[in-house]
Chains A and B, each alone.
Chain A
Amino acid sequence: MSRIPPGTGITAPPRIEAALDRVRGTVGERVAAGVVRWGFVAVTVLLIGFFALTEPNFRTVDNVFGMLKFIAPTAIAGLGVMIAMTVGGIDLSVGASAGFAVSIAAWTMVIGNQVGTVAIGVVLACGALIGALNAFLVVIARIPDLLATLTTMFVIVGLKLLIVDGKSISSQMTLSDGSTAPGRFTADFLWLDRGSIGPVPVPVAIFVVITALLWFLLERTRWGRALYAVGANAEAARLAGIRIQLYRTLAYMGCGILASIAGLLLAARIGQGDVSAGNSLLLDAMAVSLVGVSVLGIGRPNAWGTALGAVLVAVMVTGFTMAGLPYYAQDFGKGIVLLVALLFSFTFSRKRTVVVAGSMAN
């Protein structure tokens, strides 16, 4: 950071001591800022420490990868929501998109008798299309984002049920005309869940790579800066020459594609086209991306924060399960985490939090 000599310019120069005071802040303010900045990381580390001490199974390498693998679809869908948030939007259709991806992948392989690679291509294309539909509704038709993506959610859930006749699709299932389905979940597709690169399971690798790529895109490239500018003040971004409609469209398409990737991982994990898959994904993805806003006191959607939010949820759920707590305690725990996250980003933080879901309607 380059300091400007005080007293440049015509208005009153700030006294240097006052300026330094402002940078340093009082002791109380510095403590508060520290809590806002590191509180979440500290909570995660403490939880990990606690479970590692109390649950011997928790501290194994297998469990660490298992947790990350378990949370990867949620994290990736959360990263999708995060992208929509950067332009000041929100996407309620991520869960539905992931569920759609599960059924379409199964349909392509089992009914369409195609290999996994083809299924992956079809699913990603569908994700991009769903994103484009959202973008059309929000950007061109100017429907408020909450309502537009809620509509999309219903439309694609319904469309999925129509395509699969309301049934889950599994390998060698019996079709309505009595014959057996020609295809099955192929090995290359199942590799998405069961394979590993070195010691790292494929879903974990995908999760980490996507996080790193998004971090680079948002923080280090001009496209990322433009996305944030659209979210911070769309009119100012437009007057600075940024094509805001293009960036909004790209953000929604990116979100759709990431939701589809989450769906692919789910499909590979389940090994069949479970018609109810993805139903719970929306709320988890939303929670993870909101936690991400508050992590490190950043106050805006960001990739590492979202990833850390997902890890925190994974640690909690796994730890609670090992400790023998019932499943409903997990939801309670997630709720508390989200509440604390929101308190950090909206109530305790001195920074103005830029993300406001549903603020994009204009």
Chain B
Amino acid sequence: MTSSDENAAEGHGRPVVSLSGVSFSYGSNAVLQGVDLGLSAGSITALLGANGAGKSTLIKALSGANPGYTGSISVDGAVANLTSPSVARRLGISAVHQKVADGIVPGLTVAENVVLDDLAGGGTAVLRNRRRDLAEARAALALLGLDWSQRVLSRDARDLRISDAQLVTLARALRSRPKLLILDEPTSALTSAEADRLFAVLRTLRSDGLAIVYVSHRFGEIEALADEVVVLRDGAVQSATSRPFAWNEILHDMLGRATELSQQRSHTDRGTSVVATVDDVPLFVDSRPLSLTIRSGEVLGVLGLIGAGKTELAELLSGLASPRAGRLTLGGSPYAPKRPGDAIRAGVVLVPEDRQRQTVLPGWSLEHVVGLPFLRESSLWGRLRRTRETSRAVGVIADLGVVAESTETPIDDLSGGNQQKVVVGRWLSAGPRLAVLDEPFRGVDIGARRGIGERLTALARAGGAAVVLSSDVDEILEVSDRIVVLVAGSVVLDGYADDLPRTSIIEAFLGETDATPAVDRTDPIPAERTPV
């Protein structure tokens, strides 16, 4: 990755938006406590903070989605009253939120989605002019250096790949010629080639004088991109530093304790006996059959881009999908789970990719979420024994260091990292034979990530097996004993972490990317794999 460009252009560095004593409370829970911050034209400010530090709340206040803030936010020196997103947009603040799907209206065409603000804002004409929409959409996308064909622009936006959908929301945000652009974890759904492309666009926008707030958990991106790093902790600005960044101090500011940025595993374990095998199973209709051996006593990291087959592999192992051909074995005998319950009874558990959609039960207490897979164990003749549920939840909280007031705290009140600890912890509490974790560190801060990684290592040391699937090289290097690289449904590299030089892993991971359809820029409509 390249280092940041210097701010050369004239007029850069002038503060566009400044915050003074901005506070916000949800009920009596003070989330922001007097934030002072200046955001300058032609500068990329990275906003860092552990889960629950107040980043999202601050972004919402800036983009008009939290009208109840106190303190003052001024735009171009004049105090602004940001009461709604459309007010913020008129003042020149645009935001691209983390959940791309929320920004796309399925059923409308790609072009209509780009010019959506015109449709929503009433505007001049009652009747829409299809041709003008197309022209305007094309102009907006041209700002990002994209030249999509009319065929693509006229397709239903629901067919877009998630990365292209993200570009659509970005193009829309830029159409209003903002002074400040806010990006909330924009790369969490992008492949690294797509992310690089986004970075190039952001650098161009910066040199045009745009102020950019960039929220991410990925330090590599920030190192490559940001001019300034602002650390939030407990709802206040802990530190604000310019280049060159002192990462150890930044991490200390974030977490309140010393943490190493990149943690090489001191010790790589070799697995002992075979726990499970995948024998000649094609992950996609058109891909070559995949074979893989999973051993006890080691953490297996599966690295792959979006669309490489990680989720398909996870679903196969955990009984969500059945093999197209070939077979699975577990503990030496054939293994054909028909539904997740079968896999769980066989000792195979899954931490799914999308925490909000796939594991969180709105309004449920921590203790009930922890206990849900173990209803049978927690009950006698069908009657639930509360003490059993509570003690399991207490165990999970202690084991993973979950920060929660009590076992009855609603799961939605926990930060993302803590929710993830609860989910991982509940499965580990069952003492699984094989734990499968699909992108377990997405939206999870580095502290929680370390905690989860340590527990997986402990599971392996105790004779279990863990499979971690991720598209982030650093995450994989940090948790894995053995590393498998997946490209287009096939294993292209399989070896132990201490035998593999980092460069060869990255080469295998990215080597074929120019040839794979997943990053083919010319046609953003995918064949079938990842809908928005």
Whether A10 lies near B28 (C-beta < 8 A) is no
A140 interface residue, CB < 8 Å from B? no
B27–A222 CB distance below 8 A: no
Judging by beta carbons under 8 Å apart, are A18 and B29 in contact? yes
Known: A4-B406, A19-B405, A22-B27. A12 touches B52 (CB 8 A): yes
Question: How far is B371's CA from A225's CA once the two chains are assembled, in angstroms?
Answer: 10
Can you name the residue of chain A whose Cβ is closest to the Cβ of B406?
A1
Q: Assess A236 versus B359: contact at CB under 8 Å? Given A9-B451, A21-B28, A29-B27.
A: yes
Stretch at the interface among A116-124, A158-166, A206-214, A240-248: A240-248
Q: Is B383 an interface residue (CB 8 A)?
A: yes
Verify A225–B372 contact, CB threshold 8 A: yes
Per the 8 Å Cβ criterion, residues 1-44 of A in contact with B are 1-4, 6, 8-14, 18-19, 21-26, 29
Task: Verify if B379 is at the interface (C-beta below 8 Å from A).
Answer: yes
Answer yes or no: A154 CB below 8 A from chain B CBs: no
Taking CB atoms, residues of chain B closer than 8 Å to A233 are 357, 359-362
Q: By the criterion CB–CB under 8 Å, are A239 and B359 in contact?
A: yes
Q: How far is the CA of A26 from the CA of B352 in the complex (A)?
A: 38
Assess whether B398 is in contact with A8, with CB atoms less than 8 Å apart: yes
B252 to chain A, nearest CB (A): 12
**Are B403 and A8 touching (Cβ within 8 A)?**
yes
CB of A62 within 8 Å of the partner chain? no
CB pair A225–B359 under 8 Å, yes or no, is no
Binds A, one of B1-9, B182-190, B219-227, B338-346: B338-346
Check A10–B401 contact: CB distance below 8 A. yes
Question: What chain B residues lie within 8 Å of A1 (beta carbons)?
Answer: 406-408
Query: How near does chain A come to B435, taking the closest CB pair, in angstroms?
Result: 13
Q: Are B360 and A236 in touch, CB under 8 angstroms?
A: yes
CA distance A9 to B378 in the complex (A): 26
Q: How far is the CB of A230 from chain B (nearest CB, A)?
A: 10
Q: Are B29 and A9 in contact (CB under 8 A)?
A: no
Q: Is the CB–CB distance between A25 and B28 below 8 Å?
A: yes
Q: Most chain-B Cβ atoms within 10 A of its Cβ — which of A25, A225, A352?
A: A225
Indicate which residue in B234, B357, B373, B445 contacts A235 across the interface (CB closer than 8 Å): B357
Report the bound CA distance from A338 to B264 in whole Å.
62
A: number of interface residues (CB 8 Å): 45
A237 at the interface (CB under 8 A from B): yes
> Whole-angstrom distance between the alpha carbons of A207 and B167 in the complex?
58
Q: Given A4-B407, A11-B415, are A232 and B27 also a contact pair (CB < 8 Å)?
A: no
Instruction: Check B473 for interface membership: any CB of A closer than 8 A.
Output: no
In the complex, the answer to whether A12 meets B358 with C-beta atoms within 8 Å is no
Q: Establish whether residues B401 and A9, one from each chain, have CB atoms under 8 Å apart when the complex forms.
A: yes
Check if A69 is an interface residue, CB within 8 A of chain B.
no
Is A221 an interface residue, CB under 8 A from the partner? yes
Q: Which residues of A come within 8 Å of B, CB atoms?
A: 1-4, 6, 8-14, 18-19, 21-26, 29, 220-223, 225-226, 229, 232-233, 235-243, 299-300, 350-352, 354
Q: Are A299 and B363 in contact (CB under 8 A)?
A: yes
- Are B28 and A26 in contact (CB-based, < 8 A)? yes
A300–B51 touching, CB < 8 Å? no
Residues on the B chain within 8 Å of A2, using CB: 390, 394, 406-407
Given A221-B379, A239-B359, is A4 in contact with B394 using a C-beta cutoff of 8 Å? yes
Residues of B within 8 A of A243 (CB): 339, 341
28 residue pairs bridging A and B, Cβ less than 8 Å apart: A1-B406, A2-B406, A2-B407, A3-B405, A8-B398, A9-B403, A10-B451, A11-B50, A11-B51, A11-B403, A11-B418, A11-B445, A12-B50, A18-B30, A22-B28, A22-B405, A26-B27, A220-B384, A221-B382, A222-B382, A223-B382, A229-B361, A240-B373, A241-B341, A241-B373, A242-B372, A243-B341, A354-B363
Which residues of A are found within 8 Å of B363, using beta-carbon distances?
Answer: 232, 299-300, 351-352, 354
**What 18 additional pairs, Cβ within 8 angstroms, besides A9-B400, A354-B363?**
A4-B404, A6-B403, A9-B403, A11-B415, A11-B417, A21-B28, A25-B27, A26-B28, A229-B361, A233-B361, A236-B357, A236-B360, A236-B361, A240-B344, A241-B341, A241-B373, A351-B363, A352-B362
CA–CA, A14 and B413, complex, Å: 12
The B354-402 residues at the A interface (CB cut-off 8 A) are 357-364, 368, 371-373, 375-376, 378-379, 382-384, 390, 394, 397-398, 400-402
Contacts of B421 in A (CB 8 A): 9
Q: How far is the CA of A206 from the CA of B361 in the complex (A)?
A: 34
Q: Which residues of A sit under 8 angstroms from B383, Cβ to Cβ? A: 220-222
Q: Which residues of A contact B50 (CB under 8 A)?
A: 10-12
B448 & A11 in contact (Cβ 8 Å cutoff) = yes
B379: nearest residue on chain A (CB-CB)?
Answer: A222
Residue of A nearest to B364 (CB): A232
4 closest Cβ contacts across the A-B interface? A9-B401, A10-B447, A222-B375, A241-B341
Query: Within the assembled complex, what's the spacing in Å between the Cα atoms of A23 and B378?
Result: 28
| A246, chain B: closest CB distance, angstroms | 10
Chain B contacts for A239, CB-based, 8 A: 318, 320, 340, 350, 352, 358-359
Complex CA gap A26/B25 in Å reads 13
Known A-B contacts A18-B30, A222-B382, A236-B358; A229 and B405 likewise in contact (beta carbons under 8 Å): no
> How far is the CB of B525 from the nearest CB of chain A, in Å?
25
* Chain A residues whose CB sits within 8 angstroms of the CB of B371 once the complex forms: 225
> Contacts of A25 on B, CB cut-off 8 Å?
27-28
B158 located at the interface, meaning its Cβ lies under 8 Å from any Cβ of chain A in the complex:
no
CB distance from B373 to the nearest CB of A (A): 4
Across-interface contacts of B379 in A (CB, < 8 A): 221-222
B403: which of A13, A21, A24, A229 is its contact (CB, 8 Å)?
A13
The 8 A CB mask of B1-30 against A (1 = contact, 0 = none) is 000000000000000000000000001111
| Distance in angstroms between the alpha carbons of A11 and B257 in the assembled complex | 10
Closest-CB distance, B429 to chain A (whole angstroms): 13
| Complex contact B405–A11 (CB within 8 A) | no
Q: Give the CA-CA distance A24 to B375 in the complex, in Å.
A: 31
